Amino acid sequence: MRTLPAIALLALFAGCGPAAPPAPPSAETSWTGRPNEAATHFRSWHGPEGEALLVLGPAGDTLARLLITAVEPPPQGPCAGPWTVVRPGALDLVLLSTTHTAYVSALRALPRVSACAWPERQRDSTLRAALATGALAGLAEGEGARLEQLTALAPALVLDHPFGGMARLPQHHVPVPVCEYLEPHPLGRAEWLRFFGVLTGTSVAADSLYATIAARYRGRVRPPGPDAPLVFVGSAWRGVWSVPAGNSLMARLVADAGGRYRYADRVAQGNIDLPMEVVMADAHACTHWGVLADVPVLRGAADLPGVDQRMLGTPAFRAGTVFVANSAEADLFGRAMVEPDVLLADLQAVLDPAAHPAHRPTYFRRLPQ
């Protein structure tokens, strides 16, 4: 079974197609929809009686309906189905994924957080300080121990990926599935800031922050030309190489950085496993070779998982155009999702270093042989 970092690395840059839109609001309601620019797996509305959030799963299925209102009795939601009523500001937040910390931190809403999972993997300095002083509880990794801790906590909004066992939450908590990982566009993942904005009462700040991020990203996009670099990006685990599909976040990043992704024509719901003979053929064909890894001490290309002596003699390795996104060095599971423009700038500097001589990498960096 793959370790958490290995699974997360593969999922991080994967994605799937757009979800089907929910049913339109009824004519009797006063809800006004907030249109999304890039995100496809949540919807939001606002009205005189509160806020509403809808979370959509991989097939466009509804995973959650949250009605944030102080009105009693609560109003009817903007579309059909049962709605979970949440009183504005009444509940703390519990974060069961390190990814979600970045969104909450960017909106300065960390004071709302009462507990978090994976405390040793949290990168945010404010959250780490709260953990160190005991102001915030760090949850255990074991399911039984974590469930016991959650049971003892006051009622909270518990944020997690929907595959994280939310059905086993104590009933006094409100489960909030977060599906940013399903978004195939970098701006789609960043736009989940607006979801967190509605959830934490910081919509104005969230809308402004997202607009700034999106403008920076769009300003950096460079469509690839016919002679653009041919780019491989993958991850190796126990001798098996996997690559993001052509409809993934990674594929979009490569294209927007001005490169041609090797598997741009392969559409899939997840990552694609490759036989070794295909990987070796790609090593000879591609001008740039990228690896998603979790390696604490990474000195050069030869230290990358899955790389053997045969690869060291291929064109990308000889030319020094091998690059890495190493979760042991950078916050790939958190802050990277709200900095797609930085991801893009890093890739552009990898593909064309002469055009970016002063660039300092954050997430993607070239590796020496």
**What is the end-to-end Cα distance of the chain in Å, rounded?**
30
Quick one: tokens of 59?
A: 């097939």
> Which amino acid is it at 148?
E
Model's pTM, two decimal places? 0.89
> Which amino acid is it at 341?
D
CB atoms within 10 A of CB 167: 7
- φ/ψ of 256, rounded to 5, equals -70, -20
Quick one: tokens of 141?
A: 């990794």
Q: Do residues 288 and 270 make contact, with C-beta atoms less than 8 angstroms apart?
A: no
Look at residue 330 and tell me whether its pLDDT is greater than 60: yes
Q: Do residues 111 and 129 make contact, with C-beta atoms less than 8 angstroms apart?
A: no
Domain residue limits, the chain: 42-88, 222-366
Q: Do residues 322 and 334 make contact, with C-beta atoms less than 8 angstroms apart?
A: no
Q: Which residues pair with 67 in a beta bridge?
A: 52, 85
Q: Do residues 196 and 206 make contact, with C-beta atoms less than 8 angstroms apart?
A: yes
Q: Specify the 3-state DSSP secondary structure of 243.
A: strand
Packing angle, helices 340-351 and 203-220, rounded to 10: 10
* For the chain, counts of helices (H) and of strands (E): 12, 17
| Structure-model confidence comparison of residues 305 and 35, the more confident one | 35
Average pLDDT on 269-287 reads 91
Read off the pLDDT of residues 239-262 as tens digits, 9 standing for 90 and up: 789 999 999 999 999 999 999 999
Q: Which CATH superfamily is domain 222-366 in?
A: Nitrogenase molybdenum iron protein domain (3.40.50.1980)
Q: Which of 5-19, 73-87, 203-217 has the lowest mean pLDDT?
A: 5-19
Band of the pLDDT at 122, cuts 50, 70, 90? very high
Read off the pLDDT of residues 133-190 as tens digits, 9 standing for 90 and up: 999 999 998 888 999 999 999 999 999 998 866 668 899 999 999 999 999 999 999 9
In terms of DSSP H, where are the helices of the chain? 4-12, 98-106, 125-133, 143-152, 186-190, 192-200, 203-220, 249-256, 276-285, 309-312, 315-319, 340-351
